[in-house]
Amino acid sequence: MSFIKPLYLLFFISLLLSCSHTWAQNDSYRYLILFKDKANSPYSISQPDKFLSARSIERRKKHKISVKEQDLPVNPEYLLNVQKSGAKILFPLKWINGALIQQKPKDLAKTLNLAGVKGLYYAYPIDSSSSFQILKKKTKLTELAQAFITLADSLDYGNSSIQISQLGVNSMHIKGFHGEGILISLLDEGFLNANNTPYLQKAFSEKRIISTLTTTPGLTDVYSQGSHGTHVLSTIAGYTPGKLIGTAYQAQLALAQTEEGSTEKIVEEVNWLRGAEWADSLGTDVISSSLGYTVFDVKSSSHTYAEMNGKTALSSKAAAWAAQRGIICTISAGNDGAAAWKYIASPADADSILAVAAVDKSLLRASFSSWGPSSDGRIKPDVAAMGQATVIGTYLGTYTTSNGTSFAAPLIAGLVAGTLQANPTKSPWQIMNAIRQSGHQSNNPDNSLGYGVPNFNRIDKLLNPILSTAALEKPKIQIYPNVVSLGEAIHLDRELATEIKVELISNWGAIIHEFTWTNSQQDFYPPPLVSGKYYFRFTDKITQQVIPFYFSN
């Protein structure tokens, strides 16, 4: 299910009123079948380039993760035989060695009796009905055609500053880490009008949406339905200075539709596995998903709390498999904290992932945020971020606040992206451990907020203790005076005359001016600036130092 709170429902209702529905009627069910083996496959773990992208292979090499038989695609001969039996293959699934098929119930036995077929993953059909709901594509809204606001000296986070500063992401941006070169894959219900909204145009114009995926039969466009994913995406990639800036607004992105509208079917967990495999094949660094699975429309397929042990639900298995391949997963804990269910949902119960709870602006737990622990006693959630009154962009291109762990998880995903960028030699497990240990209640983690709200500055010190301590004890560079006006010089002073890159940065991360400093001392005259706080960032081959100053008109 997508985690939607009351304000969200206003968007959803307006969408239903403004869109017409078409139904693809058929008398077939979807089934998840399993194959017996991967014998006689044309694929080999010694030739991963035949089924994995170069980026995916490089991620494995970097983190010393070997390609396994589980990574091999399903045997094509088995798939061909399934097609010959009259079934339609919707997609194969290599990690589980199976395939999601569509077939009439009366013909299913033909497929199950094939020599290479092991049987059904589930002992019942995984559709609650025989129809799939597809929404017609919305007409492009004229208000979304407005020009995108470009980077300017007046760049600021606007009302999104609280959710940014809670995580220390403003410092992360100042230090030059906005997610560049990091690939984040989002698994959600859809990304309605994301390609038209002004706050996402930077990502589209710079061609950083590298791939999309649909899993619902008959749906070919992730942008034609499902506003939840668009709203979630805004907290990572949104970029409108003065309104909303995402936590990793320069990251590369891949968008997967895995949720199927208002119905709740266990097949959506199969879709989630498909999305995770696809993300891995692209070379994804971070998977962010604001979906969770507990109770389904078909009651016999519903989970119990006892199954929230990280190894029972298919989506939880999928998240763990993704983590084993070096992908950091940030997963919404769930919004059932005040409901009958109360506890986290799958796949937030998975091991080696970051399940994310929700807090308000004062770091207090949001009442709806789901509780831990996992049923086998592990601390859950892992961390927390602002999920109450979070500033988001809507599918209409407007800005509002909304509630849900749906927004806390992508905020953390952006923090993860910047941390990966800043620490390219660290493993995903080192990164996740530092994020947990940087939480504001890391000395006393609990099953309400886990280790608490992490912070980039604390993460940086945990991952780079020697550099951080040295910088505190003996600054290599000094500047003075620290308050200047137009026409006044700032004196730059250091011990050694080496080549240093100098950047003048606004309080919200914009690089205003840069130059190379080669002498031990130099006077710098700032250009005309708006009164306020600014930063110098000094970078050489080994270290980096950031020093603030104030400009006054």
Among this protein's residues, is 427 annotated catalytic? no
72 close to 40: Cβ distance less than 8 angstroms? no
- Residue recorded with tokens 């993460």: 459
Q: Which of 288, 301, 406, 448 is catalytic?
A: 406
| Other C-beta atoms lying within 10 Å of the C-beta of residue 207 | 8
User: Which residues does residue 514 pair with via DSSP β-bridges, in sequence order?
Assistant: 503
Edge to edge, what strands does the sheet with 511-517 contain? Answer: 483-484, 544-551, 532-539, 500-506, 511-517
Nearest residue to 341 (alpha-carbon basis) of 375, 316, 392: 375
231 SS3 class: helix
* Range list of H helices, 87-130: 108-112
Tell me the C-alpha distance between 44 and 71, whole Å.
9
Report the half-sphere exposure of 285 (CA within 13 A, side-chain side): 28
Among this protein's residues, is 228 annotated catalytic? yes
Q: To which H or E segment does residue 14 belong?
A: helix 6-18
Among this protein's residues, is 188 annotated catalytic? yes
Q: Which of 173, 228, 231, 303 is catalytic?
A: 228
185 close to 179: Cβ distance less than 8 angstroms? no
Q: To which H or E segment does residue 29 belong?
A: strand 29-35
Tell me the C-alpha distance between 321 and 95, whole Å.
8
288 SS3 class: strand
CA 317 centroid distance within chain: 18
301 vs 122, 262, 293, CA distance in Å? 9, 17, 11
Residues 6+ apart with CB under 8 A from 361: 162, 166, 386, 388, 389
Tell me the C-alpha distance between 469 and 209, whole Å.
39
Burial degree of 552 (CB within 10 A; 0-12, 13-18, 19+): exposed
- Residue recorded with tokens 């994913």: 229
Residues 6+ apart with CB under 8 A from 473: none
Q: Which of 156, 188, 285, 382 is catalytic?
A: 188
User: Which residues does residue 371 pair with via DSSP β-bridges, in sequence order?
Assistant: 343
User: Which residues does residue 450 pair with via DSSP β-bridges, in sequence order?
Assistant: 446
Catalytic (active-site) positions: 188, 228, 406
